[in-house]
Chains A and B, each alone.
Chain A
């Protein structure tokens, strides 16, 4: 699975301060550390950057000085996006466009113009679809539009949009359902997800286990890529196939409800988490304790 490191993010104080002060050092360090951790893309999230769209160009140049990885340019502002695209030496990823009219008009054409890959989410003017079939409907329309303006399926990374499990639990399994049908409705399209969103709102110390297990679960349905915390070693190891026992247990727990009475503490936690993510047991913040 292609991993996109999420740690250069406007919501992190060190990042927003460095962007304001045009201080390259901390940002370059973050990029280097992520590259060393083994992610494939470095995500550059600058937020909407309404007042200062040129910051993306500056950031791209700063990061390219130290890292030879492709970048994922993450902003909703098409002006900032284009500023960044014009400076990229390696073809980057546009993160992201959607089926919203505004995005179709201004963001998607940039992918055609700069001949690069683009994340296309299932969001439309009607909002975020609530089940797998409305996700399918939304993405088919958006993909068709992208094809019309010259972007082939192979360059589209579909983002089915992950909702926090503490907000809308059934969405976790709807997402999996959608992943099963994606190859049929948009053959050749790639896929991606903003993984950390699944654990948004969950207790901080338990977010990792939700993230890791869910990523292994979507990985089973050929998820092509994911935006992840580069510094979650266990997640990277799991994804790189270094923890086969855990992966196998997750798959087994997906297929059937396992008897947890003879499992170790760690295995029990994995099975309970899979059960919550599959929608078999009702989520609460203390799902591991029940």
Chain B
């Protein structure tokens, strides 16, 4: 795909992709470039940056939340951690997950971080922000799984939470196309002006949710089933009526050992298509919602350290591949990854 992109050195064309691959292969490439750099400077021929044509595509900058507490993501004009090739975007943003009703089936070593706040989503969210340093809160609408759910009440509750916390709110529905549409449309109305980031939108329900989100001034998360072509398809359809700078795409994130290689290669290709290929339909920040998938693995459930490492390394791997927002569950894995990437 990137075969046609070349850079020139002394009039010879080299395939850029080989250079990019070399960087991937050798984590110490930057160091190993130094002699080369020194040589070039001594000879006063050119700077390393002269070797590269700048990338053409810039990932759109998405703003989440109302202006007084807005958080920006994306905006990069280079591949992840390739600052030497172009402008880096805003640093990766981390969300911790909060349930609107107390979660079921969480292992003890996960739930213990939140045992004092489980039944109060506002207190839970504030603990995530103040104690654990989350940039964003991701509210999971677990109440939709109960039999007699009331979308009006759920939406009012979302509004209350959004108003009571100091960071922007992501709202994630349960992944049932009908329930999601009902709940998210109502939330979009009730929370108008709060600029929530809401999803998932899939090919069966994107129209109604996106229209409501547009009217309520929110941003959305289109989701595709680990397929880059279907991801583009959904973006194209949304792009006909929804502003492209108000979307973060979710290509689905699998946990380590449970298919992360698929997610990795799609994240990676998405970023290449946006940055290298400048595909107008694909320049959205990527969101990796990994908490749920990590903590349902048997490895994470059976042991605390193992669970934290599982989540941290899944997050880190997908950040390397291009994630701009990561939704996590355990404060300790959040701390580890933040330390690793900062």
Contacts and interface: CB of A to CB of B under 8 A. Distances in A.
B4 to A, nearest CB: 7
B280 A280 contact: no
A285 interface: yes
Interface string A265-287: 00000000000000111111110
A286 B235 CA distance: 10
A169 interface: yes
A166 B281 CA distance: 17
A264 interface: no
A280 B236 CA distance: 17
A282 B236 contact: no
Contacts of A289: 236
Given A166-B229, A169-B229, A282 B3 contact: no
Contact of B277 (A170, A281, A285): A281
Given A279-B1, A279-B3, A280-B4, A290 B229 contact: no
B277 A290 contact: no
Contact of A282 (B237, B239, B277): B277
Contacts of A290: 232, 236, 239, 280-281
B230 interface: yes
Contacts of A166: 229
A280 B229 contact: no
Nearest to A285: B233
Contacts of B281: 282, 284, 290
Contact of B230 (A169, A279, A280, A284): A284
Nearest to A165: B229
A290 B233 CA distance: 10
B273 A282 contact: yes
B233 A282 contact: no
Interface secondary structure of A, over-half rule: loop
Contacts of A173: 3
Given A290-B280, A290-B281, A282 B4 contact: no
Contacts of A279: 1, 3
Interface in B249-284: 273, 277, 279-282
A282 B280 contact: no
Contact of A286 (B1, B237, B277, B279): B237
A287 to B, nearest CB: 8
Interface residues of B, number: 18
Classify chain A: how many residues form its interface, as a range: 10 to 19
B228 interface: yes
A256 to B, nearest CB: 10
B70 to A, nearest CB: 30
A223 B282 CA distance: 34
Contact of A284 (B1, B3, B229, B277): B229
B4 A284 contact: no
A284 B282 CA distance: 11
Interface in B1-39: 1, 3-4
A283 B229 contact: yes
Nearest to B272: A282
Contact of B279 (A169, A170, A282, A285): A282
B232 A283 contact: yes
A53 B281 CA distance: 51
Nearest to B4: A280
Contacts of B279: 281-282
Interface string B276-313: 01011110000000000000000000000000000000
B229 A286 contact: no
Nearest to B281: A290
Contacts of A286: 233, 236-237
B226 to A, nearest CB: 13
A170 B280 contact: no
Contacts of A169: 1, 229
Contacts of A283: 229, 232
A284 B273 contact: no
Contacts of B273: 282
Interface string B230-247: 101101110100000000
Contacts of A282: 228-229, 232, 273, 277, 279, 281-282
B237 to A, nearest CB: 7
The residue among A279, A282, A285, A286 with the most chain B CB atoms within 10 A of its own CB is: A282
Contacts of B282: 282
Find the residue from A169, A283, A286, A289 having the highest chain B CB count within 10 A. Answer: A286
Interface of B: 1, 3-4, 228-230, 232-233, 235-237, 239, 273, 277, 279-282
19 contacts: A169-B1, A170-B1, A173-B3, A279-B3, A280-B4, A280-B277, A282-B229, A282-B273, A282-B277, A282-B282, A283-B229, A284-B281, A285-B229, A285-B233, A286-B236, A286-B237, A289-B236, A290-B236, A290-B281
Interface of A: 166, 169-170, 173, 279-286, 289-290
Given A282-B282, A290-B281, 11 more contacts: A173-B3, A279-B3, A281-B279, A282-B228, A282-B273, A282-B279, A283-B232, A284-B229, A284-B232, A286-B233, A286-B237
Which 5 interchain pairs have the tightest Cβ spacing? A284-B232, A284-B233, A286-B236, A279-B1, A282-B273
